[in-house]
Amino acid sequence: MSPLRAEGAPAPSGSRHIAFFNIPATGHLTPTLGVVEELVRRGHRVTYAATEEYADLIASTGATVLPYTSSIDPQKIVPAGADDWLARVLEGNVREGAATAPVFEEYFRSRGELPDLLAYDISVQFLGGVLTRKWNRPGVKFYSVSPTNRSIPREAVGAAAYDRIESELVAFAGAHGVRDVSFDLLVDDPQALNVVSVPREFQYRGEEFDEDGFVFVGPCLRERERVVDPSSGWQPPASGLPVVLISLGTSFNAQPDFFRRCVAALASGGKWHTVLVTGPGVDAASLGPLPDDVEVHAWLPLQEVLAHTRVFVCHGGWGTVMQSLHAGTPMVVVPQVGETDQLAHQIGALNLGTVLSREEATVPALREAVASVDADAGLRESVARMREHVHAAGGASRAADALLNRLPARVG
């Protein structure tokens, strides 16, 4: 077995080596791809753990893929409307860490080299907190969502679930020789830099997050997402009708009834051209006969469509909302799980769109919400201002700077 480099020893001459850990969910992976691409462009090495489903996507950034099998199924871990979503997410977080840490350790051990820095999504923060301590490496926690506070109260998780999760976490860390860790310590990890994929101006009580510990970089789009090519890909309708884009993302999209309601609300009125992005969970045939002013796609590059969109009807996922604001497109948000409650609050408080609960999203309510958002000049001005903040936040380039600044200086 090849020995690992001594803890704290300088890396070999040349580029620095950064490892990325995440979960197999588009909404969590996508916000990091621009950062990886930027690091590779600057000549650094990136190893990114990826399941088979996402291996090609990760490889397209120039990163080396670390193959593994995940214990998390994003389609099932948090069903739409689940009340215990937080306990489910945190339990999956610690169990994923326990299952994957040995795989990742063996991968680097077999190559005789530990990475210089670990970057990890909030969804695998327990894995990141344990491995950074075991390997004595700096860590960067990447928020694909917006932080709501610096800790998670016991009552928010549920007493029994909290105790179970902390017990499993302590056992996981102990199995790797990491002592004196707790749920609270790793959730609000004093050793990690926090990189957040929203601008500070969007963050709820953003002034309460110190500048040394938190870097608000906004959405980290890839180069091909930042530049919309009008000569390729999706094209706006020849009719000239304003576009309403509708998507429930990749984790909550298996809801054909929702898409049918949207069609009933918006189609065949001569006012809108409706673009449905249903994902793989919906068969287009299940939506029934569709008029000419409706088109259905399993997938589309959102930035290309958002550049021509008047109103975006979406589930309010963090990455989706940031892409919409990057394009300056106002929203009608129908949250699918409690995780997005804070985001929905910000959208309303900052006058960036309107929010309908899952129960409120009837055909008449959807029709009225889209028309109201489209006609609200003040709302459009608010969206335009937030778009400026999004672009000024720095995106992938600033995030890459933050990661590299965490690395200790080379010796010799």
Q: Please report the pLDDT score of residue 7 as a whole number.
A: 36
> Do 138 and 287 lie in a common domain?
no
- Residues 207, 93: one domain? yes
145 shares its domain with 164: yes
| 153 and 256 inside one domain | no
What pLDDT score does 80 carry? 58
**Sheet harboring 17-21: ordered strands across?**
64-67, 45-50, 17-21, 117-121, 139-143, 192-196, 214-216
How many C-beta atoms surround the C-beta of residue 260 within 10 A?
A: 17
**pLDDT category, 14, cuts 50, 70, 90?**
low
Cα 270-275-278 angle, rounded to 5 deg: 140
Q: Is residue 315 part of a domain?
A: yes
Q: In 10 A of CB 1, how many CB atoms? A: 7
Q: Residue 6's pLDDT band (boundaries 50, 70, 90)?
A: very low
Instruction: Give a yes or no: residue 2 inside a domain.
Output: no
Encode 147-158: b = buried (16+ Cβ within 10 Å), e = exposed: bbeeebeeeebe
C-alpha pair distances (Å), 186 with each of 16, 49, 125, 126, 342: 25, 21, 7, 6, 22
CA-to-CA dists, residue 324 to 105, 319, 353, angstroms:
38, 9, 11
As a whole number, mean pLDDT of residues 152-177 equals: 93
The answer to whether residues 46 and 63 touch, using CB atoms and an 8 Å cutoff, is yes
Q: How far apart, in whole angstroms, are the C-alpha atoms of residue 82 and residue 71? A: 20
269: domain CATH number is 3.40.50.2000
| Statement to judge: residues 351 and 316 lie in one domain | yes
Neighbours of 236 (CB within 10 A): 17
Domain-embedded: residue 367: yes
Same structural domain for residues 293 and 386?
Answer: yes
Residue with tokens 């009837």: 362
Q: Are residues 110 and 35 part of one domain?
A: yes
- The answer to whether residue 163 is domain-embedded is yes
- Winning range, highest mean pLDDT, from 227-236, 296-305, 316-325, 360-369: 360-369
Most confident segment among 10-24, 205-219, 225-239: 205-219
Tens of pLDDT along 33-66? 999 999 999 999 999 999 999 999 999 999 999 9
Q: What is the pLDDT of residue 3?
A: 36
pLDDT at 153 over 60: yes
Alpha carbon of residue 374 to chain centroid: 27
**pLDDT of 8 strictly over 50:** no
Give the β-pairing of 353-355 and 331-333: parallel
> Letter for the amino acid at 211?
E
Residues 138 and 157 placed together within one structural domain of the fold: yes
pLDDT of residue 125: 95
Angle, helices 85-110 vs 125-135, to 10°: value is 30
pLDDT band at residue 110 under the 50/70/90 scheme: very high
Same domain, 183 and 51: yes
Answer whether residue 7 is part of any domain.
Answer: no
Looking at the fold, whether 248 and 386 belong to one and the same domain comes out as yes
Does 162 lie in the same domain as 72? Answer: yes
Q: Which domain covers residue 81, as residue numbers?
A: 17-218+394-405
How many domains in the chain? 2
60 and 101 housed in the same domain:
yes
245-300 pLDDT, tens digit each:
999 886 667 788 999 999 999 987 789 999 999 987 788 888 988 999 999 998 88
Banded pLDDT at 412 (limits 50, 70, 90): very low
Rounded CA separation 84/157 (Å): 8
Asked, for residue 320, whether it belongs to a domain, the answer is yes
